[in-house]
């Protein structure tokens, strides 16, 4: 349309499905849209995504300026920052604590919280969704700030959940008019039509509180000499030794605070959602549970719980994690990239400034890579030798992003998902459960959220699968609750 282009075509509900419909309708992996002052392109296949955002990452590593990010207060999130030296400083600082060689440092705490969750579920299986969030949030908050989460209603858990809901809602591409007419951000929120301003007013206190409050607490404890070991404490100590009482101290303190906040914000929601989707898949596809338990019984046995070292001998468990990431990617259209210069691809001109939306959800449902893509089938990743098949496309090369903007925390996230999957499947029989009237719950694959999605339904019918399993749960609960 004149002036507004395709603005009215932008989907607001499950946009990834509409993106795929466009690609199918036009028989193309690239669909171009013209929005007011903002060209946009849907990338519908893994091949095109790799060709552009991997092989030409020097051209496609930027982010578009998003006014909504600023309104909700999440412009400190370096995953959303433009490709600048300021971003690189954040990325470099984050990588120092999450490079692959650092992963073993975090494994004991992952194991502790995965096993503590087993006891929480036994006490109140009806709150399985909340127990999963508590497990993931507790682990991330512990390594980031050295603080222990006290329960489901902990202030930091609820603040993070509200903040991340706001960030997710603000990140849907092309649906907020403030992106096209930035002056709208200054119009009072009580006027009609100022949805974006009201969204910012509602969520920004939670987003900034999620970053600022725990950081201030750690700094105060550092001053008193009582801060427990954590990433935040390490960052503060490092900055004080390098930049204390210099002009650079404030800048690097801000970078460190942002990095700590991103560690918490980026990991809590994504890993929580993947863990919940895994649980949903187990209830919907019980044959997968049977196969997983047979492998666990053979490798681990009934007298102990799985360890991280067991995972190398548990290819089917690792395949379950891969299939969870493929079946329900928690960031179905990732975070859009932005072209830093004019480019040409297979005869098409891509103007500088074009926003690229990688339709990750559609890529991971490509029947050429994954037959019967709607089915949850971990066996698709297992080769004839019983090990992971390197000839099947690894979904982690898609689900964690592309090129220079790939998720730097992916190694820790995969380790967390893997030990969680092994632990829960080893001791629990997972079924949908019963509703308040005693009728079996009908689970669906419906989702909630936008940038980050979560399952609408999480099974609550978790019961220890044997007396031996009951004993293992009790022993783990006694051991770790004592800690």
What residues form the annotated binding site for heme? Answer: 407
Determine contact, residues 403/334, Cβ cutoff 8 Å: no
CA atoms within 13 A on the CB side of 105: 15
Q: Which residues pair with 463 in a beta bridge?
A: 429
d(CA 19, CA 173): 12
CB 335 within 8 A of CB 451: yes
CB 273 within 8 A of CB 330: yes
Going by the DSSP 8-state scheme, the letter that residue 388 receives in this structure is B
Q: Is the separation of the CB atoms in 341 and 352 below 8 Å?
A: yes
Pairing of strands 38-43, 355-358: parallel
Spatial distance between the Cα atoms of 203 and 75, rounded to a whole number of angstroms: 13
Cross-strand pairs, 41: 32, 356
Q: Which residues are annotated as a binding site?
A: 407
H-helix or E-strand spanning residue 215: helix 195-224
User: How far does the chain reach from its first CA to its final CA, in angstroms?
Assistant: 63
Strand-pair partners of 449: 453
| Helix, strand, coil % in the chain, rounded to nearest 5 | 55, 10, 35
Tell me the CB-side half-sphere exposure of residue 410, using CA atoms within 13 A: 15
Q: DSSP 3-state assignment of 340? A: coil
**13-47: b (≥16 Cβ within 10 Å) or e:** eebbebbbebbeeeebbbbbbebeebbbbbbbbbe
Name the nearest CA neighbour of 78 among 260, 326, 245.
260
């Amino acid at each position: 349309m004149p002036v507004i282009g395709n603005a009215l075509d932008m989907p607001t509900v499950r946009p990834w499905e509409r993106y795929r419909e466009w690609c199918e309708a036009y028989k193309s992996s690239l669909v171009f849209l013209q929005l007011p002052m903002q060209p946009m392109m849907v990338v519908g296949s893994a091949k095109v995504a790799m060709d552009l955002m991997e092989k030409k990452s020097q051209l496609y590593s930027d982010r578009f300026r998003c006014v909504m990010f600023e309104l909700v207060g999440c412009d400190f999130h370096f995953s959303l920052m433009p490709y600048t030296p300021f971003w690189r400083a954040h990325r470099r600082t984050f990588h120092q604590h999450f490079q692959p060689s650092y992963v073993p440092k975090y494994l004991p705490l992952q194991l502790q919280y995965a096993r503590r969750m087993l006891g929480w579920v036994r006490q109140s299986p009806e709150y399985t969704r909340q127990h999963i969030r508590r497990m993931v949030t507790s682990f991330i908050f512990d390594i980031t700030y050295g603080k222990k989460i006290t329960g489901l209603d902990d202030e930091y858990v609820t603040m993070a959940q509200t903040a991340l809901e706001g960030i997710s809602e603000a990140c849907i591409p092309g649906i907020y008019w403030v992106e096209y007419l930035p002056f709208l951000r200054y119009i009072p929120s009580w006027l009609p039509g100022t949805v974006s301003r009201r969204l910012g007013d509602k969520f920004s206190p939670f987003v900034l509180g999620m970053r600022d409050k725990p950081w201030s607490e750690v700094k105060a404890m550092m001053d008193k000499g009582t801060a427990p070991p954590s990433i935040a404490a390490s960052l503060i100590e490092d900055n004080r030794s390098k930049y204390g009482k210099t002009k650079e101290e404030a800048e690097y303190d801000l970078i460190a605070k942002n990095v700590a906040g991103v560690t918490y914000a980026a990991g809590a929601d994504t890993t929580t959602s993947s863990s919940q989707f895994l649980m949903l898949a187990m209830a919907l596809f019980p044959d997968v549970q049977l196969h997983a338990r047979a492998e666990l019984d053979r490798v681990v046995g009934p007298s102990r719980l799985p360890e991280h070292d067991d995972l190398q001998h548990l290819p089917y468990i690792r395949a379950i994690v891969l299939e969870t990431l493929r079946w329900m990617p928690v960031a179905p259209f990732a975070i859009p990239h932005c072209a830093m210069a004019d480019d040409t691809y297979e005869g098409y001109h891509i103007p500088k400034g074009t926003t690229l939306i990688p339709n990750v959800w559609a890529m991971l449902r490509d029947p050429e890579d994954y037959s019967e893509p709607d089915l949850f089938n971990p066996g698709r990743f297992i080769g004839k030798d019983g090990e992971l098949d390197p000839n099947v496309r690894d979904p982690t090369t898609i689900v964690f992003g592309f090129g220079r903007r790939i998720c730097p925390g992916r190694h820790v996230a995969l380790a967390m998902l893997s030990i969680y999957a092994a632990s829960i499947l080893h001791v629990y029989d997972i079924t949908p459960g019963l509703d308040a009237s005693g009728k079996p719950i009908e689970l669906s694959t419906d989702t909630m959220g936008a940038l980050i999605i979560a399952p609408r339904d999480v099974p609550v019918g978790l019961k220890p699968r044997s007396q031996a399993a009951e004993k293992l749960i009790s022993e783990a609960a006694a051991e770790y609750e004592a800690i």
